[in-house]
Amino acid sequence: MREVQAAELTKVDLAKYPFLKAASAYVANLGFSLRDLGAPGLSDVLKRAVERVAEAIRSGRVRAEIRDEDVDILSFPVALALVVAVGNEYLRKRYALAEAKRAEELLLLEPPEKILAVARDLGWEIRPVEILGNGVLYEFSLSVRDYLRTASGMKDKKWKLVNRLVRSGEVLITRVEAARLLSEDIQRRIEGFLDRRLKEVPPVLSDAVERIKGLLAELKLGERPSLELGEVNFEAFPPCMKALYTALSEKRHVPHAGRFAFTAFLLHVGMSVDEIVDLFKQVADFSERITRYQVEHIAGERGGKTRYSPPSCDTMRSYGLCVGTDDLCSRVRHPLTYYARKLRRLRKSKRGGGEGGGENG
């Protein structure tokens, strides 16, 4: 078996993966700062930074093509600063996901030694192997700790530790799986970068920040969700339903159980079949024919004519759809009970009153 060693990271690699510690060190060694963007010769850096953010907004992906290594390396921290300056939570998540998808696309083309180099820069305990199991060639062995930390938010059952091959405290993964897991870790890393705050927005960035805000407004992205349809009030939704709505609006994968729960909930709080079908149009894999059939089935208008209710809180937890609780969650056992009580609370607050207590779910 050929011994695989982690490859040296080149300047091209830093342009491909500008979120790496090695890339940050390269930028630091150049003595680059945001205020330098007004200097001659750096206009392309700001232009590319704006392009990175605009590409994420428009298509959910940042292009992988590299035209100038230094421009691509330097434009990444500038793009981060632009996203932070805009201050839009939707954009923060969308940009991190777009850069992570770009990285995954590039990693899938890399030899094992380059994947090792990227993974180790990110702090992974990973080593090369060549193990054939169940007809699958595993090329990497990752520490259980790093595997669990990275795969914990991935919903597909195949990522559950009980469904993995584990040898000597390490999880076996294929090259494709390594790229996918790295992408997950990269997304979180970038979101961490975007959690920081700028002390001030350098004047040289002001026009770019306004252009990005204008693009968000033009495409009607990142606005606060509004479902004020008759008596339906988004503010009264429980955290789990708000999370499902956000995931769908950001075109992230939502499992069938989540879509069923969300649809049944919307039907019970007063949305019509047509309104729900329109809402699902923003989902990446939308098919009006299939969506309408499924919504009508849940509404009891097809099949056995059974009108389905959304799952209870216990069932939502068992599906992995509970995203954490607030003060009201702890007092109810069903999303619909939460909605009814929260709606009363909101209406009373508008009238200047407080919430009545003593109710049990």
**Mean pLDDT throughout 351-357?**
51
**Mean pLDDT throughout 238-246?**
91
Q: Give the three-state DSSP class for 229.
A: strand
- DSSP codes joined into one string, 155-200: -SGGGSGGGS-EETTEEEE-HHHHHHHHHHHHHHHHHHHHTS--SS
Q: Are 128 and 112 in contact (CB under 8 A)?
A: yes
- The alpha carbon of 205 is separated from its chain's Cα centroid by a whole number of angstroms, namely 26
- Ranking 85-89, 167-171, 193-197, 305-309 by mean pLDDT, the lowest is 305-309
Task: Count other Cβ atoms within 10 Å, centred on residue 311.
Answer: 20
Distance CA 125, CA 147 (A): 9
Q: Are 331 and 337 in contact (CB under 8 A)?
A: no
> In sequence order, what are the residues at sequence separation of 6 or more whose Cβ sits closer than 8 angstroms to the Cβ of residue 347?
none
Q: Are 26 and 133 in contact (CB under 8 A)?
A: no
pTM of the predicted model over 0.75:
no
pLDDT number for residue 358: 39
- DSSP codes joined into one string, 136-167: EEEEEEEEHHHHHHHHTT--SGGGSGGGS-EE
Q: State pLDDT tens for residues 12-68.
A: 999 999 999 999 999 999 999 888 887 878 889 999 999 999 999 888 889 999 999
Distance CA 264, CA 267 (A): 5
The residues with which 138 forms a beta bridge, in sequence order, are 131
Q: Write phi, then psi, for 226 (nearest 5 degrees).
A: -135, 120
Q: Is residue 242 scored above 50 in pLDDT?
A: yes
Q: How confident is the model at residue 224 (pLDDT cuts 50, 70, 90)?
A: very low
Higher-pLDDT residue of 251 and 163 is: 163
Tokens 């010769």 -> residue: 41
CA-to-CA separations, 310 to 208, 215, 267, 331, 341, in angstroms, rounded: 44, 36, 9, 18, 17
Q: How confident is the model at residue 271 (pLDDT cuts 50, 70, 90)?
A: confident
Q: State pLDDT tens for residues 307-338.
A: 888 888 888 888 889 887 788 888 888 999 89
Task: Count other Cβ atoms within 10 Å, centred on residue 116.
Answer: 22
Orientation of helix 69-86 relative to helix 89-107, angle to 10°: 160
Q: Where exactly are the structural domains of the chain?
A: 11-107+195-218, 112-188, 234-350
